[in-house]
Structure 1
Amino acid sequence: MNNCNSFVNMASIGDFDPLNASIPATKVEITVSCRNLLDMDTFSKSDPICVLYTQGIGNKEWREFGRTEVIENTLNPEFVRKFILDYFFEERQNLRFDLYDVDSKSSNLSKHDFLGQAFCTLGEVVGSLGSRMEKPMVGIPGKKCGNIIVKAEEMGNCRESVMMQFCGNKLDKKDFFGKSDPFLVFYRSNEDGTFTICHKTEVVKNTLNPVWQAFKIPVRALCNGDYDRTIKIECYDWERDGSHDFIGEFTTSYRELSRGQSQFNVYEVINPKKKGKKKKYLNSGTVTLLSFLVDIEVTFLDYIKGGVGQGGTQINFTVAIDFTASNGNPAQPTSLHYMSPYQMNAYAMALKAVGEIIQDYDSDKMFPALGFGAKLPPDGRVSHEFALNGNPQNPYCAGIDGVMEAYYQSLKSVCLYGPTNFSPVINHVARYAASVNDGSQYFVLLIITDGVISDMAQTKESIVNASCLPMSIIIVGVGPAEFDGKKHTHRCTNTHTCVSHTHAHTHTHTHTHTHTHTHSTEQMMTTVSCFSSAMIELDGDEVRISSRGRYAERDIVQVHRVPSVCSTARLPDAWSQIGRVLGALEYASQTKKLSASSL
């Protein structure tokens, strides 16, 4: 029985996706595990990661959908990170799972060892016995690549998340020269009696009385909204070689956990083998629930339709465009800013395709439009925060067409220069966001750029400062340059050209300037989701960004790449990421604490 509907009325929310208006789909959660992977490491086992690819409707192009976490030193990984897919019964939804042995921090998959792949359809997984499919992997001639196990479970509509914290007491000592390095693994039970991993805590080193960090998990991941479904928790002693020692286990349920810190939530950790062999065996220690707090997650529709506060949340978008010289001379067809009479340039295509969707969620449709990295007339002053319409007191443009017009006019008057500084435009939006603290407004900064950030330290500090404000940052990359943030040794003397269309000739000003040229074939072929470490560092999905020892309060940055020759068909991917940011906003959400009596 799904109990969440007794608290949240989902009739008008959740059945319709405004970002992908089509027949409502069933959402399924995909869990991946593997057996007997190839061992590519000499002195240890492989460190596998699984990458899921899907095919677009009407074409055969494989697109990366997502990646699991990396699990170190194992040939039999049980991945915790899930893939959430829309399941359409009437469509053939092809899936490809690629496995890699991760050898470095690079997100470029070509830098890692390929372990094999498997192909299937989503319907094949859902239709398998118990919605569990196991098949051999292929891809390396002459070698057995092991098996992949894919499980699917329909997701409930429950929108609750729970924050929990646990501690251990007098756990078994497993290390000969020390104590134990304990961690917990959480499993939810399935209808067929099996268990699916849903969370791992961190390892607490050298202690028998660990206090694990509090963690947040969706209730649907923990029990799929069924408060009485069994939750199994196993305790292990961490070992460097991956052969973690089993300490013991216990079971509970969401309903029991919801009682909070009490005598009901002190659990004996039992090792069944020890219990069967030793008559005087009591337990292998205890685990206690320290805290339990429930949040009702607020969705994007809640924000814009009035679910938060009395009048809803007004979404305010600001656009910032890169006018640095690395984009190329706008008078040349090779420039990303080239104004062809026959087609839009890369910036215009990205701006129009994303902006036309953005404007639907901004009620007044007046957008501040900024530029950075250019010399401005009449004195050639370099600016990293100038109004595209030439009016710094009122940088607003009417609709996305107004932004496009202001962008074209700026190209005719400014001189592309540098460097590529993000922090001024981030601080610009942050000043407005700081003036709102009642949840009535949310600010989104869309930065369109060709790549390398020059003020990384200042940008990180600006992001950390803004992480407590009602704002998010979307970075869309155009052109072939890889987002690596590195200054290469290639020094050249460039001609920064200011093209004035109000004169019959071109004014050219020459400056000596060192910047980056990155046009290798490998980088041109970089996939949409493959960024290098510098840009990934801003996108805090994996590691929370920090500056001067202070961490961002939440992840407010999403990064998306658009190829230099892009089409509007690819840009809904960018908006999908924007939607995920807005749908996951925690700033304006109202926390609802459910008492035990309400369960």
Structure 2
Amino acid sequence: VGTVPEPCPQAPLAVLSKVELRVSCKHLLDRDTLNKSDPCVLLLMQTQGQWMEVDRSEVIKSNLNPVFAKIFTVDYYFEEVQKLRFEVYDSHGHAGVGTHDDDFLGGMECTVGQIVAQKRVTKPLFLKYGKFAGKSTITIISEEISGNNGYVELAFRAKKLDDKDLFSKSDPFLEIYRIDDDCSEQLVYRTEVVKNNLSPVWEPFKVSLNSLCSCEEKRKLRGVVWDYDSRGKHDFIGEFFTTFEEMQKAMGENKVQWDCMNPKYKIKKRNYKNSGVVVLLDLKIHRVYSFLDYIMGGCQIHFTVAIDFTASNGDPRNSCSLHYINPYQPNEYLKALVAVGEICQDYDSDKKFSALGFGARIPPKYEVSHDFAINFNPDNDECEGIQGVVESYQSCLPKIQLYGPTNVAPIISKVARVAADEERTKEASQYFILLILTDGVVTDMADTREAIVRASYLPMSIIIVGVGNADFTDMQILDGDDGVLRSPKGEPVLRDIVQFVPFREFKNASPTALAKCVLAEVPKQVVEYYSYKAF
């Protein structure tokens, strides 16, 4: 246990958790002459010194003390200072949120860490040049989303609501609140307004179980029905109380309904029954699973290694060659292969690895091949464990002629065909990892991008390790970290499945550091694939 893992030079930081942020404001400045401001909040995040808009809330009409229904979700990294900025604007109808100074109601800066540590942060809003925006304050409430959190889809309607309008029918909307241990209420969701209708059917909506009931089925929830008023003075129609446990009776064909009660009427009117009925038409639960859930549920990782045998590696008989077989010291190809393969081996039940080569002339005709089995058995390219791959590699080197060019699209497509066949079995219990070891920049970049976009729909991930001292700048494009990778026709990848790492950054690190860095994104990619398949 005593070994300390070495830090990974280029490792993507481990996402510690996701955090949900809820925003409310008090005493906002009134920018409108005839009625009150229509506030909207923008969330900005600082990346490399630049503020970038991440998301924005809905607009709340005519309200200086808004509680926004929008929940902002941010990734929380423990080891990084993540700066956030909240900006409140007065919105003007269809023109959207203007960013003119006269529409700016104030801003506030803080870090994700501060909000997570304090759980609730209230700060004054500032205008430009550090001036206070009157007495305006902004409150951010944070909640970490726990590991095995799912979300629910709810569909509500109401019947025979009280009519609050003189010349037309009520314009009802529904709010759902969670009642916390300190008896405070957290807004979970606010539906859209259905105009002029006493029996509205609201659009179905999704909320996380964490947000709805803190993952506690017996926690009390409050539903409130309002009659919408464009000046912000909504009329109270009625309320009801329930729990997530009770809501679950609405699964399948069943419906659950509650009397929508106005406590004042109950006291005043002798024959008062209710102010209408709220019905939960449907409830669907979607569980969110982790990488370990899939592995424990029987998902097998199938590992394929592809080795670059192009001439730029140098003659294997020469000690300067990247493919030189030194009896005392494994070359870089072998080091990278063993470091990554040993971890993948643990998740692969049959411990058999497919081993392919590309860019060489192979016997018997010595024609160039970009996807040959290094054991020269075209019917079965699998080797027994990592050791089997090492042995096949060493025995194939003297038999082949290093050539070129560096084309990797054929190998990506070959593994993708196997993954697609696996997907068709509907089980999709196998997930494919392709490790490509190469000494240079890919020659068939357009075909490779196309192949990666196709593969992003399949149960596979691609890891590319750059061996040697070439300039690998162009290879970083394939790793979608700097933006979304697109095919030559402009089609984006469905999910980011490529991780590129130059081996030279790990030359002096332990093998576990390389493996940790290279495999860091795989669990997330596995989860993303199965989540995409579920819908």
Shorter-chain TM-score above 0.5: yes
Deviation at 1:226, TM superposition (A): 1.9
- 2:138 is the counterpart of 1:194: no
Could you tell me how far apart the structure 1 residues matched to 2:222 and 2:145 are? 19
Structure 1 residues 310-389: aligned runs within 5 Å: 312-319=298-305, 339=322, 355-370=341-356, 377=362, 383=370, 386-387=372-373
Selected match of 1:253 from 240, 243, 246: 243
For 2:256, which of 265, 270, 273 is the aligned residue? 265
- Shift of the 174–31 alpha-carbon distance from structure 1 to 2, 3 Å rule, reads farther
Partner of 2:91: none
Q: CA RMSD in A?
A: 6.8
2:433 aligned to which of 412, 434, 445: 445
- Number of residue pairs matched by the alignment: 453
% of aligned pairs identical? 25
CA distance in 1, matches of 2:373, 2:227: 58
**Is the radius of gyration larger for structure 1 or structure 2?**
2
Deviation at 1:133, TM superposition (A): 1.9
What 5-or-longer segments of structure 2 have no aligned partner?
Answer: 1-7, 9-14, 32-37, 89-105, 315-320, 467-471, 507-512
Deviations 1:483-510 (A, max 9, x none): xxxxxxxxxxxxxxxxxxxxxxxxxxxx
User: Secondary structure, in 3 states, of the residue corresponding to 2:203?
Assistant: coil
Q: Secondary structure at the match of 2:283?
A: strand
SS at match of 1:188: strand
Partner amino acid, structure 2, of 1:365: K
Alignment pair present for 1:473 and 2:460? yes
2:216 to 226, 231, 242: 226
Q: Which amino acid aligns with 1:134?
A: T
Inter-partner Cα distance in structure 1 for 2:388 and 2:175: 53
Structure that is richer in helix per residue:
2
The structure-2 alpha-carbon separation of the partners of 1:416 and 1:432, relative to structure 1 and needing over 3 Å to count, comes to same
Q: Corresponding residue for 1:334?
A: none
The aligned counterpart of 2:84 is 97
Instruction: Report deviation, 1:196.
Output: 3.9
Q: CA deviation at 1:362?
A: 1.8
The corresponding residue for 2:523 is 579
* Residue 470 of structure 2 corresponds to residue 532 of structure 1: no
Q: Distance in 2 between matches of 1:205 and 1:157?
A: 40
**Could you tell me which residue of structure 2 aligns to residue 48 of structure 1?**
42
The residue type paired with residue 292 of structure 1 is L
How much has 1:256 moved relative to structure 2? 1.5
TM-score (norm 1): 0.51
C-alpha distance 237-395 of structure 1, shift in aligned 2 (>3 A): farther
Do the aligned partners of 1:420 and 1:453 also contact (CA within 8 Å) in 2? no
2:300 aligned partner, one-letter code:
Q
Residue 257 of structure 1 and its aligned partner are, at CA, apart by 0.4
Where does residue 80 of structure 1 map in the other structure? 71
Residue of 416, 421, 427 corresponding to 1:426: 416
The answer to whether the 8 Å contact 1:299/1:584 transfers is: no
Aligned residues of 2:151 and 2:288 also touching (Cα < 8 A): yes
Separation in 2, partners of 1:526, 1:458: 11
CA contact (8 A) 1:134 1:149 kept: yes
Tell me the distance in 2 between the aligned counterparts of 1:231 and 1:527.
45
AA paired with 1:473?
M
Gapped regions of structure 1 (runs ≥ 5): 1-19, 54-60, 102-114, 332-337, 467-471, 480-516, 541-556, 591-599
1:552-591 to 2 correspondences below 5 Å: 557-559=495-497, 562=500, 567=505, 572=516, 575-582=519-526
SS in 2 for 1:393: coil
2:382 alignment partner in structure 1: 396
Higher mean displacement: 559-568 or 227-236: 559-568
Structure 1 SS opposite 2:353: strand
CA shift, 1:229, in A, is 1.4
So what's the TM-score if we normalise by structure 2? 0.56
